[in-house]
Amino acid sequence: MDRMELQKVNIELDDESNSGESIEDSYTETGDSEKATISSQYAESQKFLTNGYLEKKKLEDYKEEYHPGTASFGMSAFNLSNAIMGSGILGLSYAMANTGIILFVVLLLSVAILSLYSVHLLLKTAKEGGSIIYEKLGEKAFGWPGKICTFISITMQNIGAMSSYLFIIKYELPEVIRTFLRLEENSGEWYLNGNYLVIFVTVGVILPLSLLKSLGYLGYTSGFSLSCMVFFLSVVIYKKSQIPCPIPSLENAVGNWTYNNNTVPMHLVMLPNESAYSGVNFMMDNTHGHTTGLEEAGDLLPKSGVEYEAHSESDDMCKPQYFVFNSRTAYAIPILAFAFVCHPEVLPIYSELKDRSRKKMQNVSNMSITGMLIMYLLAALFGYLTFYGEVEDELLHTYTRVYTFDTLLLMVRVAVLVAVMLTVPIVLFPIRSSISTLLFPKRPFSWIRHFLIAAIILAFNNLLVIFVPTIKDIFGFIGASAATMLIFILPAAFYLRLVKKEPMRSPQKIGALIFLIVGVIFMIGSMTLIIMDWIYNSPSSKHH
């Protein structure tokens, strides 16, 4: 068959896919002699069109998996970046406080490089294995157990991620509304109830976006979501110069403090964590304009032992630490390790990439992971250098200890909420794809099924967020195991099993084997540290 005939078959196949006519249907309308001809033409044109990508695939798989992508390079990069970003950026300053600056940077760079290598393994396995569906790669490699293991890992990881996003909506949105209304405390109204609000947001925003048929359409919302997180990062950098260290503290003062005819507005803030300050503290809205007068005014107030101790330790409190090891480091390391988890979304985004190729998708991954690495480093560094050891596991909560009604921070909280809302639909897509592949492998696309699966997943997540208060600990453990499976173990195992043309002693196979072993060690180690920390910090152990 010459090149002109192959191009003719190419055009015919594209016309059939665009008109919705299946290849199987064209088979039934031809005679037996023509079937053999079409079959051979299809096998050859398949190799010509996709450089062997779909070689050895069955005819029914062609209809399901080989469809022309429509998402541009930029939209795909936005979607993958948004899948990486999530809510993890809010906890990175806390991770830096519990690992130290140098150790944090080393770990974050290492994880970024390992994630890129993992994506490389996954894309190469998809090409050699002849499938761009994660579960089918598992089935080709290890049969039914591989398919189930992949399904469980993707489902648990993404449900855990979705739950963490919905938790942010549940706890942040009531505070944002309260601040808009200038209420000193939650008055108990229904519109300040996080359980109601998370349901309204799910039904009104997340579910409609989750009903889009293609991930490519979410590129616009992903771009807007990323711009919200860039705004968050900009404010974190700006506030570093606005907040003094140590955080100014006054005791036994109420309302406004007047000194030398200057009125300094104070707001009541409780410090929830175990810090050098205790009891009730009053923080300034404008620390720049009144710091000197405030310090002089503070001399007129009675001082406690705690306050003297805080002043004497202020020099140590405001020094950056480069290497830190404590009990919370066990949680900081998984935060870093899973900062780049996007592997459930890689293949769905790849399948919708316009003029897709493995090299093009690798470039999308390189750009997304590098961009997120820069944002992570800046957000963690400036957040940590603002509060040092006082930073909390959720950075926005730390700022509320200093500012009660601050317009700029209110805008940041709104931006983070919007970013989180727009990320949930992207995380939902792989779960729905996994369920469809597992339960309805041969069924054609159905809008009813598409809607019902999304609604059930979101309803289940809402119930978890509303009724299970300790869900973060549960999914911290499950996420540690599932994310390690998706980053390290599954891509390496699939590569070793499915890529036949490379001998086991080749550098590529040895590298994949080492990657697999590192993943197993990391999963066992991280889960052991978390379990030990649970045991150590349990009420019964503290009692004894």
pLDDT of residue 290: 38
Given a cut of 80, whether residue 272 has pLDDT beyond it is no
Given a cut of 80, whether residue 499 has pLDDT beyond it is yes
At 254, give phi and psi (nearest 5°).
-130, 140
Predicted confidence band of residue 472 (pLDDT cuts 50, 70, 90): low
Question: Which residues neighbour 20 within 8 Å (Cβ) at sequence distance 6 or greater?
Answer: none
Taken in order 9, 12, 17, 22, is the CA torsion positive or negative?
Answer: negative
Given a cut of 90, whether residue 331 has pLDDT beyond it is no
pLDDT of residue 123: 93
The single residue listed with the structure tokens 């006082």 is 390
HEC states along 424-446?
HHHHHHHHHHHHHHHHCCCCCCC
Beta-bridged to residue 262, according to DSSP, are 259
* CATH number, domain 73-243+321-543: 1.20.1740.10
Helix (H, G, I), strand (E, B) or coil at 512: helix
Query: Residue type for 308, please?
Result: Y
Predicted confidence band of residue 320 (pLDDT cuts 50, 70, 90): confident
- C-alpha 344/C-alpha 431 separation (Å) is 8
At 187, give phi and psi (nearest 5°).
-85, -5
pLDDT (mean) for 229-250? 83
At 473, give phi and psi (nearest 5°).
-65, -40
414-437 per-position pLDDT tens digit: 999 999 899 999 999 989 988 988
Q: What value does the CA radius of gyration of the chain take, rounded to a whole number of Å?
A: 27
Question: Which residues neighbour 526 within 8 Å (Cβ) at sequence distance 6 or greater?
Answer: 330, 333, 334, 337, 480, 484
- C-alpha 535/C-alpha 527 separation (Å) is 12
- C-alpha 91/C-alpha 398 separation (Å) is 11
The distance of Cα 398 from the centroid of its chain, to the nearest Å, equals: 21
CA of 167: how far to CAs of 79, 108, 328, 468, in Å? 22, 25, 21, 11
| CA end-to-end distance (rounded Å), the chain | 81
- C-alpha 422/C-alpha 407 separation (Å) is 23
- C-alpha 526/C-alpha 324 separation (Å) is 17
Number of Cβ within a 10 Å radius of residue 226: 24
CA of 326: how far to CAs of 101, 104, 323, 329, 331, in Å? 14, 14, 10, 5, 10
CA of 93: how far to CAs of 99, 101, 317, 372, in Å? 10, 10, 15, 15
pLDDT of residue 544: 52
Where would I find the beta strands (DSSP E) of 422-514?
none
Given a cut of 50, whether residue 2 has pLDDT beyond it is no
Q: Which two tokens stand for residue 461?
A: 């997540």
pLDDT of residue 184: 72
Question: Which residues neighbour 514 within 8 Å (Cβ) at sequence distance 6 or greater?
Answer: none
- C-alpha 13/C-alpha 26 separation (Å) is 11
CA of 427: how far to CAs of 342, 466, 473, in Å? 9, 20, 20
Q: Which two tokens stand for residue 537?
A: 């910090």
pLDDT, averaged across the chain = 75
Most confident of the ranges 8-12, 253-257, 272-276, 365-369: 365-369
Q: How many percent of the chain have pLDDT more than 90?
A: 30
**Which part of the chain has CATH 1.20.1740.10?**
73-243+321-543
Work out the burial of residue 405: count CB atoms within 10 Å of its CB; fewer than 13 is exposed, 13-18 middle, 19 or more buried.
middle
pLDDT of residue 70: 81
pLDDT (mean) for 336-341? 78
Given a cut of 70, whether residue 278 has pLDDT beyond it is no
Cis peptide before 344 (omega within 30 of 0): no
HEC states along 303-359?
CCHHHHHHHHCHHHHCCCCCCCCCCCHHHHHHHHHCCCCCHHHHHHHHHCECCCCHH
- C-alpha 208/C-alpha 451 separation (Å) is 9
Query: Residue type for 74, please?
Result: G
